[in-house]
Homo-oligomer: A and B are copies of this chain.
Amino acid sequence: MNTSFNKRRVAICAMLTATVIVGCATQAGRGVTDGPLTIRTQGSFFVGGRDLRSETLSAVPAVFSPVGTIAVDQMYVRYQVPDKVTGKPLVFVHGCCLTGKSWESTPDGRMGWDEFFLRKGFPTYVVDQASRGRSAADPSTIVSVKNGKTAPDQLPPVFSSGREGAWEIFRFGPQYPSVFPGMQFPLEAQSEFWKQMTMDWSRALPAPNPTVPALSELAKKIGGAVLVVHSQSGMYPFQAVGLTREGIAGIVAIEPAACPAASGDMTPYANLPILIMWGDFTEAAPVWAARVKSCGDFVKAANAAGGKAESVMLSEVGLRGNSHMLMLDRTSLDVAAWLSDWLGRHIAR
């Protein structure tokens, strides 16, 4: 560890006044440091998308014309490639009501998974799902309803998740604001975390979510990608594999909201490394217990048809207390290190 770097970092941290400081974590451990990081290349781009022509793009027609063409359904992608590549590219897809921010710095200011895996030698691609974050949504129905041209019930079924409801889904505790004993989410930084949560348009989008073909296009573009998805996006890589296996080297589904039906066609998954991983306390949350069961059935069916699928309860491999937001838990880098090892064992570079 570079001592002068640490001194500089301490000086920077001391300079800052907020209680939650980003970038002031101590040494990351788990085989990486938080010292200087050398990147070969980085940037951002879009995949997917289609043109939409509308006459109700703007509710301020005197300033911006309501008539014109916009692009929708595209997916924003930010990537970093480490100087020394030792692993397959990882594509990180967030869950409900969140954006790619989920994979960046934790609410309590520690290193995010995007940087951890980069430091481990994996090219990392962090996306915003279609109609979320930096991936544009379509305003035309809102404007049309505001102008009286369309009935209010035709408004897109948008939603945000209040923290009180999210608390239970994220398994911080059985209900807001009680906490599971030993639960590892850094609740002292929860106010920073709630700021990550955004309006969710997914229920206004066609099926499959336009993120699915965009992920397929991205995988083909970068080649040999491992799709690392969370919660709401849990089904997307399975749907993408249904389009084509091209470019997809593996699937890591973290607490997926659903898995493919065990009674379905398993041939798309033959010989594809698939990991499904779960945090703690799932037995105490019926919705999660059901998902664990259903995904376990899928794993059995996939393996019976020549699959290489695995469902892992982190609590059974020594990683206890993880919430649904395990990439942000205090134990986030322990889980990341475990996943990095799993990737090394199951998906060769």
Contact = CB atoms under 8 A, between A and B. Distances in A.
A16 B221 contact: yes
Interface in A107-161: 109, 111-112, 115, 128, 133-134, 136-139, 142-143, 145-146, 148, 152-153, 155-161
A245 interface: no
A51 B109 CA distance: 21
Interface in A135-191: 136-139, 142-143, 145-146, 148, 152-153, 155-166, 191
Interface stretch (A193-201, A271-279, A310-318): A193-201
Contacts of A136: 160, 195, 197-199
A23 B81 contact: yes
Interface stretch (A33-41, A292-300, A330-338): A33-41
Interface residues of A, number: 96
B134 A128 contact: yes
Dominant SS among interface residues on chain A: mixed
Contacts of A45: 20, 22, 105, 109, 192
A67 interface: yes
A161 B198 contact: no
Given A37-B42, A115-B42, A220 B17 contact: yes
Contacts of A112: 43-44
Contacts of A69: 162-164, 194
Contact of A76 (B36, B42, B68, B101): B101
A207 B184 CA distance: 40
B58 A159 contact: yes
A128 B196 CA distance: 12
Given A43-B115, A152-B146, A100 B134 contact: yes
B195 A165 contact: no
A104 B43 contact: yes
A15 interface: yes
Contacts of A49: 195
A158 B142 contact: yes
A192 to B, nearest CB: 6
A72 to B, nearest CB: 9
Contacts of A200: 64
Given A23-B81, A65-B164, A145-B145, 9 more contacts: A22-B45, A39-B39, A59-B156, A63-B203, A64-B161, A70-B163, A71-B191, A142-B156, A142-B158
